[in-house]
Amino acid sequence: MNEAAEAQLLKVAMGLPERAQRALAGHAVVIDGQRLAVDVQVMLRLQRIARFAGPETMPIPDGRLATLHETRITGGRQPIGAVRDVPVGDLPGRLYTPSGDRPDPSGLLVFFHGGGFMYGDLDSHDAPCRFLAERAGVRVLAVDYRRAPEHPFPAAYDDAVASLNWAFDNAASLGVDPDRIAVGGDSAGGNLAAGAAIAAARQDLPLAFQMLVYPAVDATRQTRSYDLFGRGYYLSREYMELSSDSYLPEEGDRKDPRASPLFETLPKGLAPAYVATAGFDPLRDEGEEYARMLCDAGVRVEMHRFPDLIHGFFNVLGPGRHSRAAVAEIAVRLGAALA
């Protein structure tokens, strides 16, 4: 089956009336007091029927292609005013400008994609970047940082910090207000965004906001959600172990604050944060712990758990209802923060 046919099948299945979806999905899944969204359950069921092989089961190059294939199936067609490639220093970047963008300087989100530091690129996260830019009414600059295992820690962290600095230095050429720059990312990208926000505070950069979507902030992974949801809900223990082995091959680096922000001593002046987690995500508890840590450090924080969703919902914008609604809510928060 080709990519377009797979996308259409998934869209039809996840768009069925809820009663039909329940018949297809089977009994409701309730864990830790949370009920899995039925359209998400349908998606997971279809993956099992199709004997979907996770990217972590393949050689890294094949896993990257599989990740791109997945996100094209789930991303849907998202409108955008304009897109152009922008070199971010020595790194590839892509600038998204929303429809109706005014000529005066606008807000900017510097965005880092997820993918366990080893998968993902500008294309894998094209749909959510388009969606965020259009819905939030801000420009989005996606950055293609160096990936593991070719470039282990701290390469991605260094690229994230350098990219955010580049955005401030080049705000005028990007058409953005330097006082309305935010940083954000999902999963591994959330880790990089958190690290870049900390570095910005230490440099007294006027970062306006940090948007952390189910961020990976503790490479030691000793949480209840890791035990509860490490199998059967898309993000697997095997995936996370491969991520750590690829990006953090030196065991001692896993508690380095640049790799695990939960071990950081937070500086003053951190930007306000929005932390989104998913109820059925192994990374749920560490993300929420980091939100509490930010709050305890005096940072203005909004933490929102989407209790019926799984890791990866940020990329599911074409089929279904629940994931798209969650990303729409994140876009509202981003737009309000940079208004």
Active site residues: 187, 281, 311
CB 184 within 8 A of CB 212: yes
Dihedral sign for Cα atoms in the order 224, 225, 226, 228:
positive
| Strand partners of residue 88 | 91
| Strand partners of residue 94 | 85, 142
Amino acid at site 214: Y
d(CA 307, CA 215) in angstroms, rounded, equals: 16
- CB-based burial, 40-74: b 16+ in 10 Å, e otherwise: bbbbbebeeeeeeebbbeeebeebbebbbebbbbb
d(CA 308, CA 305) in angstroms, rounded, equals: 9
- Structure tokens that stand for 217 in this block: 């902030």
